[in-house]
Amino acid sequence: MHEFNLIHKYFTWDNPPADIAIAVGDDAAVLDIPADKQLVTSIDTLISGVHFPENTLPSSIAHKALAVNLSDLAAMGATPKWFTLALTLPEIDEAWLNSFSKGLKTLAHEHHCFLIGGDTTRGPLNISIQVMGLVDTGKALLRSGAKLGDKIYVTGTLGDGAAGLKNLNGELEGEFKLSKTDAKYCQQRLDNPTPRIIESRLIKSFATSCIDVSDGLLQDLSHILEASQVGATLNLSHLPFSSALRNLDNNLATNLALKGGDDYELLFTIPAIKETQFLSQLSNTMNGKVDNKVTCIGEITKEDTGIRDNAGNRLISSGYNHFHV
């Protein structure tokens, strides 16, 4: 199959929204951006054997490639609008492409995000997606707004994706082994993370800072603390675990939640004075529509405290590092 036939068959979508003046087919896309909005953009590259196991389903690879970018938009309080795709393939496999393109389109349509162009080339399998969204001018959520006394919240549960990866790599054996049901759940969380776009719509009205948890809770929280020039105390007994992680040894589950990564949950801070109103609106607005669980796991403290647990012990902010030797 010729490269341009591949693009036309699998990555040229019908019925583009009205704000796309030119989509796939020209040298570049042309987009209409409202005068009262700012463009928010992010890009991530996923490499086979690094960001997803080599035997991962093509539909799940596509889902994760887009989901991790949508998660960045959610952390900024932005509404997804468009994305581009750069796809490097070792060969043309139509069955693989069919599954990949369906997985991509399913998640994109769920969040009203339209594919507007990209590139295809030959080489080791990797996927780069650049996503674009809109936010009201001056209203983007940043890492730099956390204040002393703010409550630290996180969406969903932590550690599931890391548990899924360790299980896949044969690192959870003996007393730490996952049941078949728990292993399947954790694998699903690893392969098909949920971008918290819906939750972000409410969080952005209350939060002083926000980040998505991709490299581990401690490492990502440290980015907020550095940008905001504050410290934090975490209540480790309040870390939100799924039933799968509750079935593991508590020390192992805690370590996975703090340092594992691949959660793509939102970590954010809320002023204590707005906490009750936030939780009330969350319950009223989203109950029954999504997994709307949020958990308070700590509090913002003075800058020189770093990250500590309730007993005052320093928590080292280690997490995933692409260039760690």
Quote the pLDDT of residue 95: 93
Determine the 3-state secondary structure of 294 from DSSP: strand
Provide the β-strand partners of residue 30. Answer: 22
255, 294, 305 from 312: Cα distances, Å? 17, 24, 9
Give the integer Cα–Cα distance in Å for 81 and 15.
14
25, 34, 197 from 19: Cα distances, Å? 16, 9, 20
Quote the pLDDT of residue 83: 96
Quote the pLDDT of residue 290: 47
Structure tokens given for 301: 């403290």
Alpha helices, DSSP H, located in 169-269: 180-191, 197-203, 217-228, 243-246, 250-259
CA neighbor of 118 nearest in space, from 169, 153, 83? 83
What are the sequence ranges of the domains in the chain? 3-136, 151-309
Give the integer Cα–Cα distance in Å for 33 and 199.
24
Quote the pLDDT of residue 47: 87
> Strand 294-301 and strand 151-155: pairing?
antiparallel
- Dmax over CA atoms of the chain, in Å, equals 63
Structure tokens given for 100: 């990949």
Quote the pLDDT of residue 293: 86
Determine the 3-state secondary structure of 153 from DSSP: strand
CA neighbor of 31 nearest in space, from 114, 127, 130? 114
- Count CB neighbours of 88 within 10 A: 17
- Count CB neighbours of 34 within 10 A: 10
CATH number of the domain at 151-309, please?
A: 3.90.650.10
CB 234, CB 298: distance < 8 Å: yes
83 residue type, one letter = F
- Count CB neighbours of 274 within 10 A: 16
List CB contacts of 56: < 8 A, sequence separation 6 or more. Answer: 191
Quote the pLDDT of residue 11: 84
Q: What angle do CA 130, 131, 137 make, to 5 degrees?
A: 130
Structure tokens given for 295: 């958990």
Give the integer Cα–Cα distance in Å for 145 and 164.
33
Q: What superfamily in CATH does domain 3-136 come from?
A: PurM-like, N-terminal domain (3.30.1330.10)
Give the integer Cα–Cα distance in Å for 218 and 179.
27
Quote the pLDDT of residue 319: 52
pLDDT tens for the chain, residues 1 to 325: 667 778 888 888 888 899 999 888 788 999 999 999 999 999 999 888 667 777 889 999 999 999 999 999 999 999 999 999 999 998 888 999 999 999 999 999 999 999 999 888 999 989 999 999 999 999 999 999 999 999 999 999 999 999 999 998 889 877 788 999 999 999 999 999 999 999 999 999 999 999 999 999 999 999 999 999 999 999 999 999 999 999 999 999 999 999 998 999 999 999 999 999 999 888 887 665 545 689 999 999 998 889 999 999 999 876 555 434 3
* Helix (H) or strand (E) segment spanning residue 323: none
> Strand 79-89 and strand 114-122: pairing?
parallel
Structure tokens given for 141: 């959520």
List CB contacts of 311: < 8 A, sequence separation 6 or more. Answer: none
CA neighbor of 263 nearest in space, from 232, 286, 297, 287? 297
Give the integer Cα–Cα distance in Å for 182 and 255.
18
φ, ψ of residue 283 in degrees (nearest 5): -65, -45
